[in-house]
Structure 1
Amino acid sequence: MARIAVDAMGGDFAPRAPIAGALQALGALAPDHHIELVGQTAVIEAELETLLRDEFAALAHVRDRLSIVEAPEVIEMTDKPSVALRGKTNSSMVVGIKRVAEGRAHAFVSAGNTGAQMAASLVLLKLHPGLTRPAIGTIFPTASQPVLVLDVGANVDCAAEELVQFARIGTVYARALLGRDTPAVGLLSIGEEPEKGNLAVKEAHQRLLGAGVHFIGNVEGRDLPKGRCDRGPIDVVVCDGFTGNILLKFYEGIGPMLIGMVSKVAGLDAREIAGSLKELDVDEYGGAPLLGVRGVSIISHGKSSPKAIKNAIAVALRAYESGMTEEIGHRLAESMPQALATGSAT
């Protein structure tokens, strides 16, 4: 049984999208799972009543697996991350993450302020020993199999050692959630040669050779849509958050563009094409885990639809049930025992 806390006040379409997504998730999940809607009780109850009456009457039976946790404050998208901890300690985001930290919930999902969620997760959940920064890992569709890319926005600048850390935690994610036995790790660069890239990338390349991961060398942007390079399939791609976020936003624009082009050329309804190209729909992947913190914190896009929230809850459940967070700590302890001995968590 898992208990997932959902930020009912987070996102551009809150509270409707998070609440509708929670209802849809409960309709699809096994009956022993429970969802907590964290936020302003009166607002949540009113929205629940409307949704169950007008759109989701068939899901009325899941209501007893849905509880409300009062959190009177709301972190706005324009708030600075520090507000999450100092100015709005009773916000839906802080209260939800605190429930995970205290063991009262097994995971947290939010489409709210990403910077605030990162800050609250770092302080309340803390990093695994041996890590200096967390990373946001996102699944990218490819022509072959999905690829995990990290970091896609948590860290604008990264040192070489931090890129190596991302490779280690990405390897655990690919095993636990993607089912890859020996994940192949590529380092995103401007060429496959070891001497290509900026100083951090070139140093990271050398360090990854002895990092205890299946490192296949540098990969280029053109390799990602294929899901493979000339050395074989790729499971994990490592980069700094500045590069990764640009890549992510580019990817998000590719699907609608391709669907529009095919629709125009073939004379077909764009919705019909979109239905057959589900892998290009960003809502299919729902949310991305903040990897490296000692708890499951799922970050969803601010414009997440109910479908995206439903799928983000599914990601949270898989992350919890797979023991991914504990496995990351175990693998880090194996690869960097000195960090565990000195207790260098931040």
Structure 2
Amino acid sequence: MARIAVDAMGGDFAPQAPIAGAVHALGALAPDLQIELVGQSAVIEAELDALLRGELAALAHVRDRLSIIEAPDVITMTDKPSVALRGKTNSSMVVGLKRVAEGHAHAFVSAGNTGAQMAASLVLLKLHSGLTRPAIGTIFPTAGQPVLVLDDGANVDCAAEELVQFARIGTVYARALLGRENPAVGLLSIGEEPEKGNLAVKDAHQRLLGAGLNFLGNVEGRDLPKGTCDRGPIDVVVCDGFTGNILLKFYEGIGPMLIGMVSQVAGLNPREVAGSLKQLDVDEYGGAPLLGVRGVSIISHGKSSPRAIKNAIKVALRAYESGMTEEIGRRLAESVPQANTSGTAS
């Protein structure tokens, strides 16, 4: 039985969106799934009762698989991570992550303050040995198979060694959650040649050559929508969080633009077109795991809808059931002797 803690107070549309998303998840996913709604109990109870008596009445039978965990404080989107951690230790985010750290829940999902969630995850869940930073891994749609891109915003500046670490943890994710047997890793740069890129990228390229991974070399921005480069299909793309977040936001804007253009040219209803291009809908992927911490912490977009939260819970469930976090720890431990004997990055 899996138990997922959901931040009921996190996100622009809280508490309605996270609570409705949790109810939808219980109706769609495994019958033994349990969900904890973390936040202000009175607010959650009122919203939950209204939903189950109203638009979600057909799912009222899942109520006994929902529990409420009291957390009186709320971390807002404008709170600085350090202030939120020190001053709001009874917030829904901190309490929810403590549930995972103490073994009461198997994963945590939030659409709240990303910086605060990353900081709280680092403090409460800790990093795997061999890592200096975690990374946000996001699934990007392509013309072929989806591609995992990391980092997408956790780390604005990255050293070459950290990019190699991202490649390692991204490879484990691609195996565990995407089912890729031997994931191909590309390093995002301004050209495919090894000498292209800034100092960190050029250094990372050389380190990745000896890292024991299926490294394709540098890939360019134009390769991502295709999901492939001239050396073959891409499974994992590595970059710093500054570049990755810009890329992510650009991708988020492409879907609505394409749907509008196709609708206009073909004379179709935009909703019809959107249904056919579900892979361009950010809600379809729900949330992204913070990779590298010793537990499942799923970061969702601040504007997450109930469907996005439902899909984020699905990602959390798959991450827990696949043993992805433990596998990352094992893979990193295996890479340490290689680094010590060969002089390459771990």
| TM-score for both structures, normalised by structure 1 | 0.97
Give the root-mean-square deviation of aligned CA atoms: 1.0
Listed one character per residue, the Cα deviations across residues 204-258 of structure 1 (whole Å, up to 9, x for unaligned) are: 0000001111001000000000000000000000000000000000000000000
User: Is residue 26–residue 33 contact of structure 1 (8 Å, CA) maintained in 2?
Assistant: yes
Gaps of at least 5 residues in structure 2 are 341-346
Listed one character per residue, the Cα deviations across residues 96-150 of structure 1 (whole Å, up to 9, x for unaligned) are: 0001000000000000000000000000000000000000000000000000000
Q: Cα distance 1:59–1:339, how it changes in 2: closer, same or farther (>3 A)? A: farther
- CA distance in 2 between counterparts of 1:53 and 1:28 reads 19
1:226 maps to 226
Shift of 1:84: 2.8
1:33 aligns with 2:56: no
- 1:1-346 aligned at under 5 Å gives the runs 1-337=1-337
- CA distance in 2 between counterparts of 1:331 and 1:30 reads 29
- CA distance in 1 between counterparts of 2:25 and 2:333 reads 35
Between the two proteins, the alignment pairs up a number of residues equal to 340
2:76 partner amino acid: E
- CA distance in 2 between counterparts of 1:99 and 1:167 reads 29
Q: Cα distance 1:339–1:23, how it changes in 2: closer, same or farther (>3 A)? A: farther
Identical columns (%): 90
User: Is residue 194–residue 217 contact of structure 1 (8 Å, CA) maintained in 2?
Assistant: yes
- CA distance in 1 between counterparts of 2:84 and 2:61 reads 35
Listed one character per residue, the Cα deviations across residues 262-297 of structure 1 (whole Å, up to 9, x for unaligned) are: 111111110100011100000000000000000000
1:343 maps to none
Q: Secondary structure at the match of 1:18?
A: helix
1:83 partner amino acid: V
- CA distance in 1 between counterparts of 2:101 and 2:240 reads 27
Listed one character per residue, the Cα deviations across residues 64-121 of structure 1 (whole Å, up to 9, x for unaligned) are: 0000000000000000001232000000000000010000000000000000000000
Q: Cα distance 1:232–1:338, how it changes in 2: closer, same or farther (>3 A)? A: closer
Listed one character per residue, the Cα deviations across residues 165-185 of structure 1 (whole Å, up to 9, x for unaligned) are: 000000000000000000000
- CA distance in 1 between counterparts of 2:319 and 2:21 reads 18
Moved over 3 A (4+): 337-340
User: Is residue 129–residue 339 contact of structure 1 (8 Å, CA) maintained in 2?
Assistant: no
1:29 partner amino acid: L
- CA distance in 2 between counterparts of 1:151 and 1:209 reads 20
Q: Secondary structure at the match of 1:154?
A: coil
Shift of 1:161: 0.2
- CA distance in 1 between counterparts of 2:339 and 2:200 reads 21
Q: Secondary structure at the match of 1:6?
A: strand
Q: Secondary structure at the match of 1:9?
A: coil
1:344 maps to none
1:79 partner amino acid: D
- CA distance in 2 between counterparts of 1:213 and 1:328 reads 14
- CA distance in 2 between counterparts of 1:52 and 1:203 reads 55
Q: Secondary structure at the match of 1:225?
A: helix
Q: Secondary structure at the match of 1:75?
A: coil
Shift of 1:334: 0.1
Q: Secondary structure at the match of 2:68?
A: strand
Q: Cα distance 1:281–1:159, how it changes in 2: closer, same or farther (>3 A)? A: same
1:284 partner amino acid: E
1:274 partner amino acid: A
- CA distance in 2 between counterparts of 1:305 and 1:84 reads 24
User: Is residue 84–residue 94 contact of structure 1 (8 Å, CA) maintained in 2?
Assistant: no
- CA distance in 2 between counterparts of 1:265 and 1:330 reads 51
Q: Secondary structure at the match of 2:18?
A: helix
1:185 partner amino acid: V
Q: Cα distance 1:80–1:311, how it changes in 2: closer, same or farther (>3 A)? A: same
- CA distance in 2 between counterparts of 1:30 and 1:198 reads 46
